[in-house]
Amino acid sequence: MIPTILKDGKFGKMSPTPPTENASNIASLLLSCPDQVGIIAALANFFAERDLNISRYAEYTDDGQFFSRLEWPMNDRWDDEAAFAEEFSGLADTYNATFEARFMNRCQSVGLFVSKQPHALIEMLNKYEANYFPNIEISFIVGNDESMQKLADRHGLPFFYIATDVDTLEYEKKQLEIIHRYKPDYVGLARYMKILSANFIDNAGCPIINIHHSFLPSFVGAKPYQMAYDRGVKLIGATSHFVTADLDQGPIIEQDVARVAPGASVQDMIKMGRDIEQKVFARAMLKVLEHKAIVFRNRTIIFN
């Protein structure tokens, strides 16, 4: 499932978790529609008429499509995102717009998947602890290697070990059970080294964000550092993207690269690559959790 912005609030679930100290009094709106005269005025008026100050506004026009994001300090006008959506949908219909509101006082829930390599998970846990992300809760960690248990324990988070040495259908069923129990807003694949089936992606009920250890579209699939070495590239990179049924083909959220030193081995690349991977993954998760990503035609618009 790609997190394109939906016309009506999709937020059936309200997390039972009490807002953390990071909870914020801000609401945000993502909106996308065909570019046309008056859309900005219509948006601005909607808020001005309700005496709400738009505290932050940004927009881009790309290929005839208009994308905007705005923030306002919440008051008690709307109880939740669904209430906002009801009141806003008239305007949206007029402009043939899709939109998604987020009330930041609602704690978002995140589930993380990991395999054997801990670095992307460690980065997420440390940044979570350091309040790098907005009002979120990491609700659970799923791993196919038992060694990750101790990382979860350190941070007091539930860890579910699900062996993947069985039939895909079987272990994905177990994974989906966890997901359906916690109903996370997002799942992050923190170097999870199993391909997810289309069925899993369809049934997860939330967007899934992956970190791939190459500068996509170069080096899709397994062993990208070996491929990068063999091709002799002078920069290696990492790519975080929304997961779709096509392997490593989903909309890209963030990428970065680093220069390869002369004489560097594949092992050297793997080692320095870890820093790029975890940095790119954390930045992409931040953008998604700050409600700054719109997907459109397999590309993303990422707001500052």
The nearest distance, CB 39 to a copy of itself, in angstroms, is 8
From the CA atom positions of the chain, what is the Rg in Å? 20
The nearest distance, CB 79 to a copy of itself, in angstroms, is 22
Residue 179 or residue 293: which is nearer to a copy of itself going by CB? 293
Binders of a copy of itself among residues 46 to 85 (CB under 8 A) are: 47-48, 51-63, 67
Q: Is 149 in the site for a copy of itself (CB under 8 A)?
A: no
Q: Is 25 in the site for a copy of itself (CB under 8 A)?
A: no
In the chain, what are the helix, strand and coil shares in percent, each to the nearest 5?
A: 30, 25, 40
User: Distance (Å, rounded) from C-alpha 280 to C-alpha 213?
Assistant: 10
- Please answer whether residues 266 and 225 qualify as being in contact, where contact means their C-beta atoms are separated by less than 8 angstroms: yes
Q: Is 195 in the site for a copy of itself (CB under 8 A)?
A: no
Backbone angles phi, psi at 128, to 5 degrees: -60, -50
Q: What does the block give as tokens for 75? A: 């008051």
Residue with tokens 């030193």: 261
User: Distance (Å, rounded) from C-alpha 44 to C-alpha 8?
Assistant: 20
Would you call 248 a catalytic residue per the annotation?
Answer: yes
Q: What does the block give as tokens for 225? A: 């550092």
Q: Is 119 in the site for a copy of itself (CB under 8 A)?
A: yes
Q: Which of 202, 246, 248, 268 is catalytic?
A: 248
The nearest distance, CB 298 to a copy of itself, in angstroms, is 6
Question: Which residues in this chain contact a copy of itself in the complex, by CB under 8 A?
Answer: 35-38, 40-45, 47-48, 51-63, 67, 118-119, 122, 126, 130, 132, 154, 215-219, 229-235, 237, 251-257, 261-263, 265, 271, 274-275, 279, 298-304
